[in-house]
């Protein structure tokens, strides 16, 4: 179906089914009127306010902390240092042991004797007001004995490098290898390269980003006796509860976690934050409710970052353009500590580098490396955007080397529609799709032939504004679940999701989901699922979530899993409700269960028109419980947990047309079109919105955003003045469409949509810019494609990024080195 038209005109007037309808969201009413429940809105009697003293230096030993002046400041109730909480603060958990010998240096919430990045908390202040707490920060005097900052991941990974954690033997936490030959999913990679006609090698920099959710992180903890209630702006109330209990020793059943309205996350709130642990410790110590809300500058500096990889990619092919092998070596800059899935995020990409192509051979190596920077962790896509960027960029480079059209090369190597399900060289079984149809539709949508013609004209006339067209034909693994698969990867948790359906005596329905939303529209979409399944009105359904006392079981929201896993659990629960109700209906209608039909919310006896009972009547009947079968309990409520056996694999074709002003370096997206296949679409309005938002973030990586550190390890993009979250004026209009290939792995047939736009778009944009100026000798441009970088690449050669990053983030040209595993290159040097 097409969702490019005005959504106001797409809803049919008399819907047969809810699924597929562009229902306006239930969530909106309170958000557009300001009747919101953001954590920072909360005020409790006697509530105190916490502020954090943060390190101004990247790497230092703490030799002394004098808090005496702060303790005496007006309104200050308590001041605590790392020494004060050293015995009780535990370590921020790392949930993913990527290799058995992965080294975790431990992550104190308050630094005890050493700081390892700018912004690391070294002391906390508790005061009667936020202003008093903030004022007292200035009064804490910390003596730092500075150590050399460790900023360049390529340098940090070398023997003899300055160490981030002096008690470790190196900065490398782990070395992870996936070799398809050894795994039995492919042939020998070295042989494939040795036999290849053509090898192209590139070094790509996937820069450090900041999730930059709009609502700053905030937490309130209220102690009641020996129990605690924590409200937090989190994506993961359930995981946070388990982890906070394990970290602090507070028994899990004495801790309730609530995620009220949460203002975006994008992976940035998929974390057990030091500040959440500290608020809990303060509330326990003082016996008073305490609130902490970060400033934006704190958020950019201390909340986890994303991406930050140096990628060495080698691709092998024959002269006809048949790919023969792929070799990937990654250095992942993990920053100073391992947070929840810092270590696992780049490893998740291991399985996605082959993309949609039929590589016979594949080898992946990854080093997770510590630096003295803010920890990296999940950010929308988490490992998969990095992989997609690399494969979609190197396919273009191979096409250039072979003199082939980049789309023709892709077509020659991608999995054909009739080959699904297809097991890839990385061992994943791709479920369904049709890359060719999506591509043809995307070409139509963007007006491809006209754009190519315009490109030719501009090239021939030497127009200072050149036009380029870039592709990204991508897939991703979504629905982060299969618990057994996660177990085989040594992830610390399962991936199931849970749901409960409660049939209320008045005929209304409560749906309890363990998947906690923060903008995705679960309340609307889950209502659509249940309305169709149970035949009850959309309006009569309330979706409850985000409170561990209400939604007692759940694994929360990330990895495009909510609908695919959480929604599937809801459908399963609805089926159980129907099964239970059937027994009651048979009893009350004095019929055999086998003779009952359930349709449109009513049980009726087959062949007996006019008989029947609505499911709401059955809900009332089991509530009064005056008359029900003897062999059942008087309830038709049901629980279900869903754990799929495979991931789902959305795919799509994204095409970007880009104007590059060769005189100023200014780039402008002229047109952007994409066709995504996310399986069954429950709500096209929400699906389109998710695609749009993902596109904005993926395009922003290509064009605008980068977390930059200076030579001393200071974050120089520490406010929204410097960290360029794009505005409406910075982004183009998107033309979107969908193909639908149902996912076989869940009862809805959905594949997941939350990350698609973000994963797909970045390489399409960069490929487009390069397509515009490659004839001028440009081979690469470092992201983000700032005017300076583009201008330098066009006029001075190189990738334009060296000066801009010299002595800053790492990855300067002088440190560029050939990958240890693959140096052959006929397709151009590094």
Partner 1 sequence: MTRVSMRVDGVTYTDEVEPRTLLVHHLREALGKVGTVVGCDTSNCGACTVHLDGQAVKSCTVLAVQADGAEVTTIEGIGSTDALHPVQKAFHEQHGLQCGFCTPGMIMASIDLLKENPSPSEDEVREGIEGNLCRCTGYQNIVRAVQQAAREMSGTSETLGAQS
Q: Which residue ranges make up the site for partner 1 (CB under 8 A)?
A: 5-9, 24-25, 27-36, 38, 40-41, 131, 212-216, 261-264, 266, 295-297, 518-521, 685-686, 688-689, 692-697, 719-721, 725, 727-731, 733-734, 757
Among residues 518 and 572, whose Cβ is nearest to partner 1? Answer: 518
Q: Yes or no: say if 498 and 571 are a contact pair by the CB < 8 Å rule.
A: no
Cβ at position 544, least distance to partner 1 in Å: 18
Cβ at position 675, least distance to partner 1 in Å: 16
- Where helices occur in 447-543 by DSSP H, the ranges are 448-461, 483-488, 522-534
User: What would the two tokens of residue 269 be?
Assistant: 């709130």
Cβ at position 734, least distance to partner 1 in Å: 6
The Cα–Cα gap between 751 and 431 comes to 9
Cβ at position 18, least distance to partner 1 in Å: 16
| Phi, psi for 327 (deg, rounded to 5) | -130, 130
Cβ at position 391, least distance to partner 1 in Å: 24
The Cα–Cα gap between 485 and 494 comes to 9
Q: For residue 87, what is the DSSP state?
A: T
Among residues 81 and 520, whose Cβ is nearest to partner 1? Answer: 520
Cβ at position 300, least distance to partner 1 in Å: 9
Among residues 141 and 720, whose Cβ is nearest to partner 1? Answer: 720
| Phi, psi for 398 (deg, rounded to 5) | -65, -40
Kind of pairing between the strands at 362-370 and 323-335: parallel
The Cα–Cα gap between 391 and 409 comes to 13
Helix 237-248 vs helix 274-286: crossing angle, to nearest 10: 60
Cβ at position 557, least distance to partner 1 in Å: 12
Q: State the residue for tokens 């960027």.
A: 389
Among residues 260 and 567, whose Cβ is nearest to partner 1? Answer: 260
User: What would the two tokens of residue 274 be?
Assistant: 């030091």
> Element (H or E) spanning 690, and its range?
helix 684-703
Cβ at position 513, least distance to partner 1 in Å: 17
Among residues 17 and 692, whose Cβ is nearest to partner 1? Answer: 692
The Cα–Cα gap between 410 and 396 comes to 9
Strand ranges for 100-197 from DSSP E: 114-115, 121-127, 141-146, 172-179
User: What would the two tokens of residue 812 be?
Assistant: 């300067």
The Cα–Cα gap between 49 and 44 comes to 11
Cis peptide before 197 (omega within 30 of 0): no
Among residues 268 and 360, whose Cβ is nearest to partner 1? Answer: 268
Kind of pairing between the strands at 429-430 and 362-370: unpaired
The Cα–Cα gap between 297 and 512 comes to 36
Among residues 259 and 769, whose Cβ is nearest to partner 1? Answer: 259
Kind of pairing between the strands at 121-127 and 290-293: unpaired
Among residues 521 and 644, whose Cβ is nearest to partner 1? Answer: 521
Cβ at position 332, least distance to partner 1 in Å: 24
Cβ at position 327, least distance to partner 1 in Å: 35
Cβ at position 656, least distance to partner 1 in Å: 14
Measuring CA to CA, which residue among 801, 828, 825, 796 is closest to residue 813? 801
Cβ at position 56, least distance to partner 1 in Å: 17
Among residues 118 and 585, whose Cβ is nearest to partner 1? Answer: 118
Among residues 40 and 780, whose Cβ is nearest to partner 1? Answer: 40
Measured at the CA of 39, the angle between CA 34 and CA 45, to 5 degrees, comes to 105
Cβ at position 23, least distance to partner 1 in Å: 10
The Cα–Cα gap between 715 and 56 comes to 10
Q: Which residues contact 333 (CB under 8 A, 6 or more apart)?
A: 153, 156, 208, 308, 309, 310, 369, 371, 373, 376, 810
Among residues 731 and 816, whose Cβ is nearest to partner 1? Answer: 731
Q: Which residues contact 391 (CB under 8 A, 6 or more apart)?
A: 313, 326, 352, 353, 354, 355, 357
Kind of pairing between the strands at 172-179 and 198-209: unpaired
Kind of pairing between the strands at 255-258 and 227-232: parallel
Largest CA distance in the chain: 87
Cβ at position 41, least distance to partner 1 in Å: 4
Cβ at position 213, least distance to partner 1 in Å: 6
Q: Which residues contact 775 (CB under 8 A, 6 or more apart)?
A: 459
Among residues 75 and 492, whose Cβ is nearest to partner 1? Answer: 75
Among residues 15 and 744, whose Cβ is nearest to partner 1? Answer: 15
First to last CA, the chain: 44
In three state form, how does the secondary structure of 139-166 look?
Answer: CCEEEEEECCCCCCHHHHCCCCCCCCCC
Cβ at position 25, least distance to partner 1 in Å: 7
The Cα–Cα gap between 786 and 434 comes to 35
Among residues 64 and 728, whose Cβ is nearest to partner 1? Answer: 728
Cβ at position 8, least distance to partner 1 in Å: 6
In which order are the strands placed within the sheet that holds 306-317? 172-179, 362-370, 323-335, 306-317, 198-209
Q: Yes or no: say if 516 and 258 are a contact pair by the CB < 8 Å rule.
A: no
Cβ at position 463, least distance to partner 1 in Å: 22
Among residues 131 and 194, whose Cβ is nearest to partner 1? Answer: 131
Among residues 365 and 705, whose Cβ is nearest to partner 1? Answer: 705
Measuring CA to CA, which residue among 110, 115, 112 is closest to residue 125? 110
Among residues 626 and 733, whose Cβ is nearest to partner 1? Answer: 733
Assign 469 to helix, strand or coil.
strand
Among residues 168 and 708, whose Cβ is nearest to partner 1? Answer: 708
């Amino acid at each position: 179906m097409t969702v490019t038209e005005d959504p106001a005109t797409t809803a049919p007037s008399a819907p047969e089914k809810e699924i597929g309808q562009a229902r306006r969201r239930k969530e909106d009413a309170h958000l557009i009127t300001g009747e919101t429940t953001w954590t920072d809105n909360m005020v409790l009697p006697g509530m105190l306010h916490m502020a954090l003293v943060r390190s101004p230096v990247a790497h230092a030993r703490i030799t002394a902390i004098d808090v005496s002046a702060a303790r005496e400041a007006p309104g200050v109730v308590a001041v605590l240092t790392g020494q004060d909480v050293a015995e009780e603060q535990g370590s921020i958990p790392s949930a993913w042991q990527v290799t058995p010998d992965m080294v975790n240096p431990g992550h104190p919430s308050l630094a005890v004797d050493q700081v390892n990045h700018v912004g690391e908390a070294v002391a906390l202040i508790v005061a009667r007001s936020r202003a008093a707490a903030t004022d007292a920060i200035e009064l804490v005097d910390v003596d730092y004995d500075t150590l050399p900052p460790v900023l360049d991941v390529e340098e940090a990974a070398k023997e003899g490098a300055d160490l981030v954690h002096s008690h470790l033997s190196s900065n490398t936490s782990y070395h992870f290898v996936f070799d398809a030959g050894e795994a039995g999913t492919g042939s020998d990679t070295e042989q494939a390269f040795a036999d290849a006609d053509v090898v192209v090698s590139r070094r790509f920099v996937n820069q450090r980003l900041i999730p930059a959710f709009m609502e700053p992180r905030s937490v309130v903890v209220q102690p009641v006796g020996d129990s605690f209630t924590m409200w937090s702006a989190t994506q993961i109330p359930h995981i946070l509860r388990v982890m906070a209990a394990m970290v602090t020793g507070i028994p899990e059943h004495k801790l309730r976690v609530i995620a009220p309205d949460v203002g975006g996350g994008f992976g940035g709130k998929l974390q057990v934050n030091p500040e959440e642990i500290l608020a809990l410790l303060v509330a326990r110590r003082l016996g008073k409710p305490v609130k902490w809300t970060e400033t934006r500058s704190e958020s950019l500096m201390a909340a986890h970052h994303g991406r930050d990889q140096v990628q060495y990619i080698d691709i092998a092919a024959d002269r006809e353009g048949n790919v023969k092998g792929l070799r990937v070596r990654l250095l992942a800059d993990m920053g100073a500590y391992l947070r929840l899935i810092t270590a696992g995020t780049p490893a998740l990409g291991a399985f996605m580098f082959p993309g949609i192509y039929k590589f016979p051979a594949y080898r992946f190596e990854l080093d997770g490396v510590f630096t003295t920077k803010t920890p990296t962790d999940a950010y929308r896509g988490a490992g998969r955007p990095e992989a997609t960027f690399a494969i979609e960029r190197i396919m273009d480079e191979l096409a250039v080397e072979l003199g082939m059209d980049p789309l023709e090369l892709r077509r020659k190597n991608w999995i054909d529609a009739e080959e699904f399900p297809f097991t890839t060289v990385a061992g994943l079984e791709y479920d369904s799709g049709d890359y060719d149809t999506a591509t043809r539709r995307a070409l139509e949508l963007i007006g491809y032939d006209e754009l190519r013609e315009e490109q030719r004209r501009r090239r021939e006339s030497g127009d200072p504004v050149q036009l380029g067209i870039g592709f990204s034909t991508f897939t991703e693994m979504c629905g982060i679940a299969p618990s057994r698969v996660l177990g085989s990867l040594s992830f610390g948790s399962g991936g199931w999701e849970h749901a409960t359906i409660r049939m209320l005596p008045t005929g209304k329905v409560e749906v309890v989901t363990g998947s906690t939303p923060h903008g995705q529209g679960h309340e609307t979409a889950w209502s659509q699922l249940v309305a169709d399944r149970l035949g009850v009105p959309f309006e009569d359904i309330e979706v409850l979530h985000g409170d561990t006392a209400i939604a007692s079981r759940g694994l929360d929201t990330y990895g495009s899993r909510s609908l695919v896993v959480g929604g599937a659990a809801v459908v399963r629960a609805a089926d159980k409700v129907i099964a239970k109700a059937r027994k009651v209906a048979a009893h009350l209608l004095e019929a055999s269960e086998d003779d009952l039909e359930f349709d449109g919310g009513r049980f009726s006896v087959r062949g007996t028109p006019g008989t029947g009972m609505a499911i709401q009547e059955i809900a009332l009947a089991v509530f009064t419980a005056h008359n029900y079968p003897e062999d059942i309990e008087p309830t038709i409520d049901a629980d279900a947990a869903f754990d799929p056996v495979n991931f789902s694999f959305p795919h799509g074709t994204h095409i970007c047309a880009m104007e590059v002003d060769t005189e100023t370096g200014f780039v402008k997206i002229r047109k952007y079109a994409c066709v995504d296949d996310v399986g069954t679409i429950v709500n096209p309005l929400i699906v389109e919105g998710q695609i749009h938002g993902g596109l904005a973030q993926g395009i922003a990586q290509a064009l605008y955003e980068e977390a930059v550190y200076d030579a001393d390890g200071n974050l120089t993009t520490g406010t929204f003045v410097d960290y360029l979250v794009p505005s409406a004026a910075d982004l183009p209009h998107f033309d979107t469409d969908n193909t639908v290939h149902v996912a076989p792995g869940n009862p809805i047939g959905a594949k997941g949509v939350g990350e698609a736009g973000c994963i797909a778009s970045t390489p399409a944009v960069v490929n487009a810019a390069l397509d515009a100026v490659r004839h001028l000798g440009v081979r690469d441009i470092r992201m983000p494609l700032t005017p300076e970088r583009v201008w330098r690449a066009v006029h001075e050669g190189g990738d334009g990024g060296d000066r801009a990053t010299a002595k800053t983030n790492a990855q300067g040209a002088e440190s560029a080195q050939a990958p240890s595993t693959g140096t052959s290159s006929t397709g151009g040097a590094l």
